[in-house]
Copies of this chain bind each other. A is one copy, B any other.
Amino acid sequence: MRNRNTTEGLRHHNRALVLQSLRRIGPSSHTEIAEVSALASGTVSVITAELFEEGALLKQEQPPSKGRGRPRVLLTLNPEFARLAFIHIISGEVEYSLINYNNVLLDRFKVLRHGSETDAAAFGTQVRRDLFRLAERSGLAPHDIAHISIATKGLVGGGGTKLMWSPVFGDSQIDFQALLRPDWAGKVTVNNETCFSAHAKLEEAGRFARHHAVLSLGDSIGLGIASRDRNGQTTYQAPPFGHMLHMPDGPLCRCGVQGCIEAYSGFYGILRSAFDAPADHIPAKFIPKDQMDQLASKARQGDQMIRFAFRQAADVLAMGLSRLMTIHGPMPVTIAGPGLSYFDLMEEQFKMHLEKNLRIRVSHMPQISIETNERRLIFASNTKVSLAAFDGDCVATRLVDRPKSA
């Protein structure tokens, strides 16, 4: 929004409002948009006409009419108006997706990664190559892609453009914006994947939910928090929860210090304490899921040592959540990730620790739920967020010339 205090700024705001309504309620008539956006019908008329002129909207044939009167003309977002690319960096693979302006998946492929690949620069050039392939496969030039949004594990910084630290590349930072700038005209953003999970869950929870956290369990620990501020705007963050201090001089973490939450509750942490391995020994970067499953089934059969390892993992996570809620207040938490399979071994610890928390005692016990398909959630939310950003930044800005008086 360029100039907030001028009438043009007002129009910008209202154009954004129209687009936003259209995304939320899908193809809809004039009247519906006016209702949802709380704009006068005349205003909606002018704005939609502009957007149609600019190519952002299409008028859709009305569905077989029901009832009498003039049938409604459905307005939809023009799929051809723009394309957005998405990269999801997962442990074993990188997923590339392309969508159109109306949020329909156009193309998708995955590139496997060698477990040994920890060279950030090499990874960067690989990503550039694969992104070119994504564009080419749909016959697009780089400048046809309006926005590239990357979801990854790890700590993101630099205003949402840099990967500052990650379990795979460690301190080797990757500045994706700089990496892609030379060829790709669109905006480039990077976010921790759990930001998107949390965002999706908050939206799901309805317009009055204020916060939601998603805790993703696996080789490493991810946490995303989505919040709605008092203007109704949603913000999100993904603090490196797995590397929050649990206890000084605790077991060694992959990040190099002792006593991080992950060192207790990441897969390798659980494995280590299950076998009573030395606390400064880090087993492996990735623990096969099979191995963890076997461990869990022994715990379920009553193996005390292993049972203890899972319970300790849960204790530490729960205390971390308690500390988080001391700062942010109680909020619902959704558990996700491969470690979710072992949630039955950990569930009761959560309640136990949380109910001691002062803020929870004076208000309420937050709901703890689970989510089995986090990946779907991440993609769905990433597209939503990116499209909304593109709408607000670009589409809402007036393009066509105003009708001259002549």
Contact = CB atoms under 8 A, between A and B. Distances in A.
A239 B10 CA distance: 37
Interface in A225-255: 229, 235, 239-241, 243-245, 247-248, 255
A294 interface: no
Nearest to A241: B326
Oligomer copy total: 2
Contacts of A229: 229, 235
A13 interface: yes
B363 A319 contact: no
A208 to B, nearest CB: 13
Interface stretch (A179-187, A188-196, A354-362, A391-399): A354-362
Contacts of A173: 362
A39 interface: yes
Nearest to A159: B230
A97 interface: no
Contact of A240 (B10, B165, B243, B359): B359
If over half of A's interface residues share one DSSP class (helix, strand or loop), that class is named, otherwise mixed; here it is mixed
Contacts of A322: 244-245
A219 interface: no
A110 interface: no
Nearest to A326: B244
Contact of A245 (B164, B239, B357): B357
B244 A247 contact: no
Contact of A315 (B7, B240, B248): B248
A323 interface: yes
A165 B241 CA distance: 27
A319 B245 contact: yes
Contacts of A122: none
> Contact residue range for chain A?
35 or more
A14 interface: yes
Interface string A160-178: 0000110000010100000
A322 B244 CA distance: 8
A279 interface: no
B5 A39 contact: yes
Contacts of A240: 326, 358-359
A104 interface: no
Given A157-B362, A245-B323, A10 B5 contact: yes
A39 to B, nearest CB: 6
Contacts of A384: none
A229 B228 CA distance: 13
Interface in A19-47: 37-39
A157 B5 CA distance: 33
B245 A356 contact: yes
The list of the 10 closest CB pairs from A to B, nearest first, reads A244-B326, A243-B358, A239-B327, A164-B362, A257-B356, A165-B362, A5-B14, A245-B322, A323-B323, A244-B323
16 contacts: A3-B38, A9-B10, A10-B10, A155-B358, A164-B362, A239-B326, A239-B328, A240-B359, A241-B327, A243-B358, A244-B326, A245-B319, A245-B322, A245-B323, A245-B357, A247-B247
Given A164-B363, A241-B327, A244-B326, 9 more contacts: A5-B39, A6-B10, A7-B7, A244-B322, A244-B327, A245-B353, A245-B356, A248-B315, A327-B328
